[in-house]
Chain A
Amino acid sequence: MSLHALVTHNSIARRLVMMFSLAAALVFTVTGFAVYSVQRMELRRHQFEEVHIRFEYVENVIAHRVPNLEKWSIIQEKLAELTSPDGSLLYMVESNDARFQFGTPFEKGVVTDREDDGIDRITLPDRTYLAMSKTIPALGDRPEVRLTVAVDPHSFDTTRRILRFALVGFSLLGVCAVAALGWWITRRSLAAVDDLSRHAQALSPQKLGERLPQNDLPSELSGLVLSFNGALHRVEQAYAQLSTFNADVAHELRTPLGNLIGQTQVILSRERSAVELQEVLQSNLEELERLRCIINDMLFLAQADRGMRAENLTRASIAAEVALTAEFLDMLIEEAGVTLEIEGDADALIEPALFRRAITNLLYNAIQYGARDSVIQIRIAKVDDFVSIQISNHGQPIGNQHLDRLFDRFYRVDAARSDSQNSHGLGLAIVKAVAAMHGGTVFARSDSTLTTIGLTVAHAI
């Protein structure tokens, strides 16, 4: 992985190492250049100074202490001593009087570049001199002479070259060192990412509870890992819900299907009278109708799961809608010996058919489980941006362990009731789906006397 990362184009390690190297090269170049320039200027100053010192010394002597030929011959000897044999330091004295001459002047026409401080750079085919010339006025018998001092800056140039070479060399070495260190640092820092990727590879549908390790992570990664783990959690929940749902569906369909198959096989295994056949067909039809209802309801719930919202919304008075629904259940209310009380009102955007279906389910439950001669209270109130519809009935309390799961598909508080023809455990799940389709939610609470179940819908979607 690590080597691979370095050669892959789109690799953070590679990119960082490249960046480090580039930055290092830039920094080294700039500093190297600066150091080189400063040194070069220093060297030049030294060279000029040397020329000046040598020139001024001889100039002083000639100007003030050489008034005649006698003195001149001493100076001549002195100059011969000072002149270095390798030609790196030359003294020249020119004069109209042939006796007051020294050294061989540069030929006329040599390349001469004027530098600062009265110094010329003289380039000969084989070497270069920094030279300074000045005319010294006559003194006594001595005529006017022109003194030239020429210094070969060869040694300084060598120093400069070595410096340049060293600077370039060390810069290159430095860039390489930064690249290597950068690579090491990056790999070390990205080890956490490799680690995460190994963990992520090990994730599978068989181990849905697995999460990426969250401890000891660099802060830059912990946010990502937290979100990723959050996503895993949601997937696990959805997966768990889906698989229990599938299992529940299979279970719910198994019983009626088993009945249908068995019953039909039994009846077909003998000669039967038309009456008997008719009876079995009718019984089969009852089961089939039940299956049809379950399938249609499940299709409905599946749509709600996919996030479908209610359409054909109309603004309606919730109290009026509830009253209309209650009218449908009127006879059941009478038979159960309960009375309804509707309290409050608010309007909301609803799809009436869906909304009535939810209220039917809630009211039907309240009627079935409400105590005889009790009152079923329906409270409608606008709370913030929602309209809440609470339906309370007096009766057996529902245990806390059931309240949370009340709206789950096929969940029944009392397993014995599951045989009822009119219930297949989807009623409250449908209420929940309808609430969700209207941007609302469901709630349930129960104490020793009163059970309240209800839903909210968005006041305006």
Chain B
Amino acid sequence: MMKILVVEDESKTVAYLQRGLSEQGYSVEVATNGIDGQHLALTGDYDVIVLDIMLPGRDGLSVLQALRREKNTPVIMLTARGEVDDRIHGLRSGADDYLVKPFSFLELLARLQALGRRGRPQDNSQLHIADLHIDLLARRATRGTRRLDLTAKEFSLLAALARHSGQVLSKTVIAELVWDVNFDSNTNVVEVAVKRLRAKLDELGEEKLLHTIRGMGYVLELREGSAGEVGQ
């Protein structure tokens, strides 16, 4: 189980992060000021640290600097200011990633997974979800015996969803994973891509695998009694 330290002083943020991350199967510890945060970060053994920049006691950047002198624990910085120089400052001072407040929980999850996976051997090149089979090396996907005729981007989208099977991916996260677009593009590219993929993936009579979670994003999984769900 991945162990995460959240250093954040805003109580509502702490509450939902703790609950959300715990439900996702992480073990979460919390520090609500920079001094405790630095102490825990230096003494504890965490897989990832989520670190706010604006903190009482000690600001996030100096906590990060103190941590980097001793450890290489991956760190995600949270910045409310949204200033690019903050980001660059954060990354140069040793942060592995950053999120600008207000940030989306799904995006945080995606980044946590990416950091947690880092350094571990890449999972096998064959993915199975119900009767869907994906060969990442050959870039081929089959459903039962039916070979899916996918374009390159459609395949990348399917692979991204399949790698995170069971986890809701927001449009922003998908855009980043598939197209390497790391800004809110305000376009409907992802919707269109999902619509196309769904048309090829879930044919009439087959069990639906690609689900739309309204307001959240998309998830690829086998759901009980999902036949009646209306896709978007």
Within 8 Å by CB of B104, from A279, A289, A311, lies A289
Residues of A within 8 A of B200 (CB): none
B residues sitting closer than 8 Å to A (CB atoms) are: 82-85, 88, 100, 102, 104, 153, 175, 179, 181-189, 192-193, 196, 213-216
Within 8 Å by CB of A282, from B104, B181, B192, B216, lies B216
Q: Given A282-B216, A285-B216, A296-B102, answer yes or no on A360-B185 (Cβ-Cβ < 8 Å).
A: yes
Q: How far is the CB of B147 from chain A (nearest CB, A)?
A: 21
Residues of B within 8 A of A332 (CB): 187-189, 192
| 4 closest Cβ pairs, A-B complex | A285-B215, A282-B214, A299-B82, A282-B215
Residues of B within 8 A of A327 (CB): 179
**B82:A331 contact, CB within 8 angstroms:** no
Q: Given A303-B83, A311-B85, A328-B189, answer yes or no on A289-B182 (Cβ-Cβ < 8 Å).
A: no
Q: How far apart sit A281 and B216, CA to CA, in the bound complex (Å)?
A: 10
**B196:A331 contact, CB within 8 angstroms:** yes
Beyond A283-B214, A422-B187, 15 additional pairs, beta carbon < 8 A: A282-B213, A282-B215, A289-B104, A292-B102, A296-B184, A300-B82, A328-B181, A332-B188, A332-B189, A353-B183, A364-B187, A421-B188, A422-B186, A426-B186, A427-B186
Q: How far is the CB of B102 from chain A (nearest CB, A)?
A: 5
Q: Is A305 part of the contact surface with B, judged by Cβ < 8 Å?
A: no
List A residues 402-425 near B (Cβ within 8 Å).
421-424
Residues of A within 8 A of B181 (CB): 328, 356, 360
**A331:B216 contact, CB within 8 angstroms:** no
Residues of B within 8 A of A284 (CB): 215
Q: How far apart sit A303 and B190, CA to CA, in the bound complex (Å)?
A: 28
Within 8 Å by CB of A308, from B84, B186, B214, lies B84
Residue count of chain A within 8 Å CB distance of chain B: 40
- Pick 30 A–B contacts, CB within 8 A, sort by A: A279-B214, A289-B215, A292-B102, A295-B102, A296-B82, A297-B184, A299-B82, A300-B82, A303-B82, A303-B84, A308-B85, A311-B85, A312-B88, A328-B179, A329-B189, A330-B153, A331-B189, A331-B192, A331-B193, A332-B188, A332-B189, A353-B182, A356-B183, A357-B183, A357-B185, A360-B181, A364-B185, A364-B187, A424-B186, A427-B186
Residues of A within 8 A of B213 (CB): 282
Q: Is A286 part of the contact surface with B, judged by Cβ < 8 Å?
A: yes
Q: How far is the CB of B77 from chain A (nearest CB, A)?
A: 16
Residues of A within 8 A of B187 (CB): 329, 332, 360, 364, 422
Within 8 Å by CB of B185, from A292, A299, A328, A426, lies A328
Q: Is A141 part of the contact surface with B, judged by Cβ < 8 Å?
A: no
Within 8 Å by CB of A292, from B83, B104, B182, lies B104
Q: How far apart sit A279 and B216, CA to CA, in the bound complex (Å)?
A: 12
Q: How far is the CB of A291 from chain B (nearest CB, A)?
A: 8
Q: How far is the CB of B150 from chain A (nearest CB, A)?
A: 12
Residues of A within 8 A of B102 (CB): 291-292, 295-296
Give per-residue flags for A355-392: 1 if the beta carbon is below 8 A from chain B beta carbons, else 0: 01100110010000000000000000000000000000
Residues of B within 8 A of A361 (CB): 186
Residues of A within 8 A of B192 (CB): 331-332, 335
Q: How far apart sit A356 and B185, CA to CA, in the bound complex (Å)?
A: 10
Residues of A within 8 A of B183 (CB): 353, 356-357
Q: How far is the CB of B91 from chain A (nearest CB, A)?
A: 10
Residues of B within 8 A of A300 (CB): 82
Q: How far is the CB of A243 from chain B (nearest CB, A)?
A: 23
Give per-residue flags for A253-296: 1 if the beta carbon is below 8 A from chain B beta carbons, else 0: 00000000000000000000000000101111110110111011
Give per-residue flags for A175-204: 1 if the beta carbon is below 8 A from chain B beta carbons, else 0: 000000000000000000000000000000
Q: How far apart sit A311 and B88, CA to CA, in the bound complex (Å)?
A: 9
Residues of B within 8 A of A422 (CB): 186-188
Q: How far apart sit A303 and B83, CA to CA, in the bound complex (Å)?
A: 7
Q: How far apart sit A360 and B186, CA to CA, in the bound complex (Å)?
A: 9
Q: How far is the CB of B193 from chain A (nearest CB, A)?
A: 6
Q: How far apart sit A379 and B140, CA to CA, in the bound complex (Å)?
A: 38
Q: How far is the CB of B175 from chain A (nearest CB, A)?
A: 8
Residues of A within 8 A of B196 (CB): 331
Residues of A within 8 A of B83 (CB): 303
Q: How far apart sit A296 and B83, CA to CA, in the bound complex (Å)?
A: 10
Name the residue on A nearest B192 (C-beta). A331
